[in-house]
Amino acid sequence: MELILFYIAATVALFSTVFALTRSNAAHALIYLIVSLLAVAVIFFLLGAPFAAALEVIVYAGAIMVLFVFVIMMLNLGEEGQELERQQMHPAVWITPAILSAILLVEMVLLLAKFDTPQTGALITAKQVGLSLYGPYVLAVEIASMLLLAGLVGAYHVGRRFRSTEIDEDSVAGSSPENTGVID
Amino acid sequence: MEGLIIPLNHVLILASLLFATGLAGLMFRRNVIFILMSLEVMLNSAGLAFVAAGTAWAQADGQVMFMLILAVAAAEVSVGLGLVLQVHKRFKTLDMDQAHKLNG
C-alpha cells in the first residue's frame, strides 16, 4: 500500500518538476513547482520523517515560493499584468496542477485514515532531530545562522541599491558618487 | 536497514532524476527566474536523498542535514531574487545572455 502511494507521489513529483521547468510563463511554472514540493513532502511523510515533511511545506512551499511570487508580481505591472491575470484564470491553465495536487490530497487522506503510524521506515520524531541538532550539530546551527545573517544583509544591500538607482534615474543622473558605475 | 519498505535505491533514483531535471533546466533555460527555480529543485532533491538515507539507517542526521539545506536554499533565493530585480532594472530583460558582462 505504502509502496503504491510512494510511486504515485514520485510520479507526481517528477512530472510536475518537468512541467515547471518547461513552461514559458513563470507564474504557471511556480504552480507546478509548488505541487512538486508538496509531492516531495508526501514522500518525506511516507519515509517516516513527518518533521521534514512539515518543514518542506512551511518553508519551501510556503516561504521560499512566496518570495518567487512577490518578484514575479513585481516584474509584470500595469495593463500587461492585468491581461496576464485574466489569461491565468483560464481553466486550461490550472486544471493540471489541481489534478496533481488532488492526487496528493487523496494520498494524504488515505494515509491518515488507514494507518495509525503512516510510515515505511523507522519513525524519526522531531524530538530526535532537535536533540541531534543542538547536540553534535550545534556548530552547523551556528554556521547556518551566520549564513542566514549574510543572506539577510546581502538581500537588503541589493534591494537598497535597486531602489536608490531608481530614484537617481528619475532625478539628475550621475550626480551621486554611488551612481557612477551604474548608468552608462 | 531498519525495515524500510520502500527500497532505498528507488528513493535515490527519484532524487537523482529530480536532480537531473533541475540540472537540465539550469542549462537549457536562459530566464534567470527559471535558473533559480532549477537550483531550488536541485537542492530539494539533495534534501530528499539525505532524508531517505537518514531513514534507512534510522538516524536523525539526515533530517538535520535537510534543515541545513533549507537554510542554504532560503539564503540563496533571497539574494538571488534581489539580483533578479537588479538585472531587470538594468537590462530590462530577464535573459541571462544579455547580462553576460559582469561590469554592467
Give the pLDDT confidence of A146-161 residue by residue, as tens digits.
999 999 999 888 877 5
Q: Does A178 have pLDDT greater than 50?
A: no
Q: Distance (Å, rounded) from C-alpha A108 to C-alpha A151? A: 35
Interface subset of B 47-76, CB within 8 angstroms of A? 47-48, 51-52, 54-56, 58-64, 66-68, 70-76
pTM as predicted: 0.79
Position B27 scores a pLDDT of 84
Q: Measure the CA dihedral B65/B67/B68/B73, to 10°.
A: 130
Check CB contact under 8 Å for A132 and B60: yes
- Cα separation, B19 vs B40, whole angstroms: 10
Which residues on chain B are in Cβ contact (under 8 Å) with A182? 90, 104
Listed residue (A128, A102, A111, A67) closest to B77, CA to CA: A67
Q: Do the chains contact at B14 and A43, CB–CB below 8 Å?
A: yes
User: A92-105, pLDDT tens digit by residue?
Assistant: 767 787 788 788 77
Q: Are A31 and A90 in contact (CB under 8 A)?
A: no
Locate B83 and state its grid cell.
539580483
Condensed to tens digits (0 to 9), the pLDDT of residues A49-62 reads 888 999 999 999 88
Tell if the CB–CB gap between B66 and A52 is shorter than 8 Å: yes
Q: What CA dihedral angle connects A56, A59, A61 and A67, to 10 degrees? A: -160
The DSSP code for B99 is G
